[in-house]
Chains A and B, each alone.
Chain A
Amino acid sequence: MAADASWSPGGPASGESDSDPVAFRSLAVRVHGEVPSSLAAALSADWQRQEVGWAAGHTVRLSLLSEPLAIGGRAITAQTQNGPLDLWADGEVFRAPGLSLETSAQGSFVGLSGAVTPALLLLAFTEVQRAAGLLPLHASVLSRDGQTVAISGPSGAGKSTAALRLLAHGWHLVAEDWAWLDPVAGQLAGWDIGLRLRPESLERFAPHLLAGAPTDAHGKRVLNPPRLGGPQPLTGAFFLNATPSPSRLELVRAVWEMVGAPLTPAARRATQAGVNRLMAALPMERIDRDELVRRLA
């Protein structure tokens, strides 16, 4: 692989013995190498939330970074769900404190030290799944009778409330806000658990569930309905928004808001190809939340 020659994370960390070997499959990638011991357990747990049986042809090699890294290149800011993250791009290599990331269509290299933040770790592993061809969906996903729909929209648009109301009509929760889609196979797997709702939404639509639901740090109540595991065939996408009859351009924007902007060149190429497939093959529309519930009930 050409990327081998240019991989220069700084070599093994001298004097650092607190490392663990890791080797696991995660969605479309096969991960192996060494990571700081402080990261090993969380990394393995976060990226093996369920086994989906997808071909894992993309290899991710992990290695230890010695600190401090020689940071250089173009300063960039990645917009992520955890807010903006500052990195440096040097050709195909992206670096930040505790992280060095290089992706290609065939495989990726991730250098880590204990200084890496959870947000950067999430960014790196999201990028490698993207480079392997998957799309992360920022959407609630529900399934019933062979029909699986993604419900997307900005925070506060009512994705979780729509999901709660549809659960009462025989729909099963696949994901609250985070799923992975293989756009070639058209199959999707939920990647988060729980349903977080404002107390007033729960009181209005499912008051019988209010008593047993714990409260999270943002004051939302957390429900844990059984999740439908395994890959599901995605049959449609709905975007919660006030615009009644969106143009094609607005649908393109909505799809990119659902999948997020990739960072590395390989992830960008693969994601663009995936979005092209979605635009051509997946039924999608903008819809009002109450109308969506009426339609799918």
Chain B
Amino acid sequence: MDSPAYAPHADVLVTDLQTELVLLHTTSSEMYSLNEVARTIWTRLPATRAELLALLLERYEVAPTQAEQDLSALMADLQRLNMVQEH
């Protein structure tokens, strides 16, 4: 399988505020707030990029290119903050 797989970092604490999901990295103290679409992706982890893309297309009325862009942007943010790890 050549689709990259992502998993939550073990040092991330998750707080559910109902309207948003808040991630807190325990060593860097960075925080990140997930909206509804991002929450859908986060709660599906660990998963491959292909699986996450399929989930977005199934769950939301979104064009495949848009879904790809949204997923790439989110994963870039989460990897930059060391909140997900790529396997």
Residues in chain A within 8 A of chain B (CB atoms): 79, 248-249, 252-253, 255-256, 261, 268, 271-272, 275-276, 279-280
Query: Quick one: which of A79, A252, A256, A268 contacts B17, CB cutoff 8 A?
Result: A252
Smallest Cβ-Cβ distance to B20: which chain A residue: A248
**Smallest CB separation, B17 vs chain A (Å):** 6
The answer on a CB contact under 8 Å between B13 and A261 is: yes
The answer on a CB contact under 8 Å between A253 and B31 is: yes
A170 to B28: give the CA distance in the assembly, Å.
41
Range for the number of chain B residues in contact with chain A = 10 to 19
Known: A249-B22, A253-B31. A279 touches B13 (CB 8 A): no
A213 to B3: give the CA distance in the assembly, Å.
66
A255 to B15: give the CA distance in the assembly, Å.
10
Smallest Cβ-Cβ distance to A259: which chain B residue: B13
Task: List B residues 10-25 near A (Cβ within 8 Å).
Answer: 13-18, 20, 22, 24
Number of A-B residue pairs, CB cutoff 8 Å, is 36
The answer on a CB contact under 8 Å between A276 and B16 is: yes
Smallest Cβ-Cβ distance to B29: which chain A residue: A253
The answer on a CB contact under 8 Å between B13 and A268 is: yes
- Interface SS of chain A: helix
- Interface SS of chain B: strand
Please indicate the chain B residues that have their CB under 8 angstroms from the CB of A255 in the complex.
Answer: 15
Query: Quick one: which of A253, A276, A279 contacts B24, CB cutoff 8 A?
Result: A253
Could you write out 17 A-B pairs with CB less than 8 Å apart? A79-B26, A248-B17, A248-B22, A253-B24, A253-B31, A255-B15, A256-B13, A256-B15, A261-B13, A261-B26, A271-B13, A272-B14, A272-B15, A272-B16, A275-B13, A279-B15, A280-B18
Smallest Cβ-Cβ distance to A260: which chain B residue: B26
A253 to B25: give the CA distance in the assembly, Å.
10
The answer on a CB contact under 8 Å between A276 and B15 is: yes
Please indicate the chain A residues that have their CB under 8 angstroms from the CB of B17 in the complex.
Answer: 248, 252, 279
In the complex, whether B72 has a CB less than 8 A from a CB of chain A is: no
A253 to B15: give the CA distance in the assembly, Å.
10
A271-B13, A272-B15 known; 16 new pairs, CB 8 Å cut-off, are: A79-B26, A79-B27, A248-B17, A248-B20, A249-B31, A249-B33, A252-B15, A252-B17, A252-B22, A252-B24, A255-B15, A256-B13, A275-B13, A275-B15, A279-B16, A280-B18
Smallest Cβ-Cβ distance to B14: which chain A residue: A272
A62 to B13: give the CA distance in the assembly, Å.
28
**Smallest CB separation, A80 vs chain B (Å):** 12
Please indicate the chain B residues that have their CB under 8 angstroms from the CB of A276 in the complex.
Answer: 15-16
